Amino acid sequence: MTIGHLLREARLQSGLTQEKVAEEIGVSRQSISNWENDKTYPDLMNVIHLSNLYQVSLDVLLKGSEDYMGHLNESTDVVKSNKFLIRSILLGVVAILCSLFMSRWISFQFALVIIFVISIVMVGIIYFEIISRF
């Protein structure tokens, strides 16, 4: 069963509307709708607030939803994420050094363009990795 289905069932059993739940935990009604329709996942603090509000065990919400547990595991795997970031940065540095070394055979301006493109790609990768953690 998905976290969205569990949240919807718990809300309906509590006799609350999405608007009332949103007001109680300080999020928008659209957030509640997105969570219940499995478009996005609530963060862990919101799951705790919902558990208290619905008077449902946190175990029921967390362990009852394998997709959410997978999401939590993936989003909190800092070691894996940090290894990827370190590899990406090292690869970028090596590529930049290779571009500088190749500037002996190609124009220096072209080498700078290559370095600029590599830098933009690296910033994009790092930005994506940081954003995907949250």
- State how many domains the chain has: 2
- Higher pLDDT, residue 73 or 17: 17
Global model pTM greater than 0.85 = no
Confidence band for 76, pLDDT divided at 50, 70 and 90 = low
| 51 vs 69, residue with greater confidence | 51
**Does 52 share its domain with 99?**
no
- Which of 47, 74, 101 is at the close of a domain? 74
Q: Are residues 62 and 99 in the same domain?
A: no
> pLDDT of 35-51, one tens digit each?
999 898 888 889 899 99
Show which of 52, 74, 96 is a domain's final residue: 74
For the chain, state the CA radius of gyration: 23
Do residues 57 and 68 share a domain? Answer: yes
The encoded tokens of residue 70 equal: 């997978």
Question: 55 falls in which pLDDT band (50, 70, 90)?
Answer: very high
For residues 119-130, average pLDDT = 83
